[in-house]
């Protein structure tokens, strides 16, 4: 999944996961989880995440390499939030080659900056199960409690306006250039980030086959 923060890549990744029965590998969730557990990598990562910077490639690549060594990815997997830089894309090529896996599709989720800032500043996330809400378009049913697990929803530190702007700059500078690389491989599938939720399963199925 490739696209700016807040474009809805995570939502689309979960729909694809349900449609095809394959796991989603979400580096943001894995790094937040490592930070919450207080591991050495997690604590280093947290400083970068809170500032809206990319976590160093060595840490993220190691996390992804370990995750892709587990047996549940053999029938397929969705990468959400990785790769985010040229060095990560190169590391991914190596990992895939070693494991005799390949990328079939790069789903590019598109959305304008104004819409992104509006979405992220009203986003609330579940720190326990990772469910994501929007105060207007997808509000939780009971106050600020997660519909799925009941934990109290929070605003991620990096969903505050000044950090959002920085994350967008980082996306433009470091991650967006990866589109050229995957365009050369002819595997980019564009999906508008404002596609109505109910239309996404049908659209994604028609695109991914
Ligand atoms: P996300 O939940 O995908 O928006 O990611 C939240 C934050 O986690 C990012 O702003 C980065 O600080 C960090 N992060 C997630 N994935 C990566 C990655 N592939 N490379 C570097 N940092 C990452």
Ligand 1 centre and the CA of 18: distance in Å? 23
160 belongs to the catalytic site? no
Give me the chain's average pLDDT, please.
94
Q: How would residue 97 be classed by pLDDT, with cut points 50, 70 and 90?
A: very high
* pLDDT of 67 strictly over 90: yes
pLDDT per position as a tens digit, 76-88: 999 999 999 999 9
pLDDT per position as a tens digit, 7-66: 999 999 999 999 999 999 999 999 999 999 999 999 999 999 999 999 999 999 999 999
* pLDDT of 189 strictly over 90: yes
Residues with CB under 6 A from ligand 1: 5, 27-28, 31, 48-49, 52-55, 60, 81-82, 84, 88, 158, 167
Say whether 116 sits in a helix, a strand or coil.
helix
156 belongs to the catalytic site? yes
Residue having the nearest C-alpha atom to atom 4 of ligand 1 = 5
Output the pLDDT for position 137. 86
Which residue pairs from 70-79 have beta carbons closer than 8 angstroms and sit at least 24 positions apart in sequence?
72/23, 73/22, 73/23, 73/25, 73/101, 75/21, 75/22, 76/20, 76/22, 77/22, 77/23, 77/24, 77/25, 78/1, 78/13, 78/16, 78/17, 78/22, 78/23, 78/24, 78/25, 79/1, 79/25, 79/27
Output the pLDDT for position 150. 97
Ligand 1 centre and the CA of 30: distance in Å? 9
67 belongs to the catalytic site? no
pLDDT per position as a tens digit, 151-183: 999 998 889 888 999 999 999 999 999 999 999
Output the pLDDT for position 157. 86
Phi–psi pair at 27, nearest 5 degrees: -65, -40
9 belongs to the catalytic site? yes
Rounded-to-integer distance, Cα 142 and Cα 38, Å: 30
Q: Spelled out in words, what is the top-level CATH class assigned to the domain 9-111+174-208?
A: alpha beta
Q: Which of 32, 67, 119, 167 is catalytic?
A: 167
Of ligand 1's atoms, which has the minimum distance to the CA of residue 48? 12
165 belongs to the catalytic site? no
pLDDT per position as a tens digit, 117-161: 989 999 999 988 888 999 988 999 999 999 999 999 999 888 988
Pocket test of ligand 1: the residue of 41, 55, 130 to mutate, having most ligand atoms within 8 Å of its CB, is: 55
Quick one: which H or E segment has residue 153? Answer: none
Residue having the nearest C-alpha atom to atom 1 of ligand 1 = 28
């Amino acid at each position: 999944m490739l696209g700016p923060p807040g474009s809805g890549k995570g939502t689309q990744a979960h729909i694809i996961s349900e449609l095809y029965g394959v796991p989603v590998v979400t580096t943001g969730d894995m790094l937040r989880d490592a930070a919450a557990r207080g591991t050495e990598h997690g604590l280093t990562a947290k400083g970068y995440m809170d500032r809206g910077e990319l976590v160093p490639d060595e840490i993220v690549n190691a996390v992804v390499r370990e995750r892709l060594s587990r047996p549940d990815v053999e029938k397929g997997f969705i990468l959400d939030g990785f790769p985010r830089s040229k060095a990560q894309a190169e590391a991914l090529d190596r990992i895939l080659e070693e494991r005799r896996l390949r990328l079939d599709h790069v789903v590019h989720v598109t959305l304008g900056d104004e819409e992104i800032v509006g979405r992220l500043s009203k986003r609330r996330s579940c720190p326990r199960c990772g469910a994501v809400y929007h105060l207007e378009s997808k509000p939780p049913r009971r106050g600020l409690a997660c519909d799925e697990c009941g934990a109290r929803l929070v605003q991620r530190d990096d969903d505050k306006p000044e950090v959002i702007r920085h994350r967008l700059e980082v996306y433009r500078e470091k991650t967006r250039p990866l589109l050229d690389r995957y365009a050369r491989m002819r595997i980019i599938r564009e999906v508008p980030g404002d596609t109505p939720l109910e239309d996404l399963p049908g659209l994604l199925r028609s695109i991914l086959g």
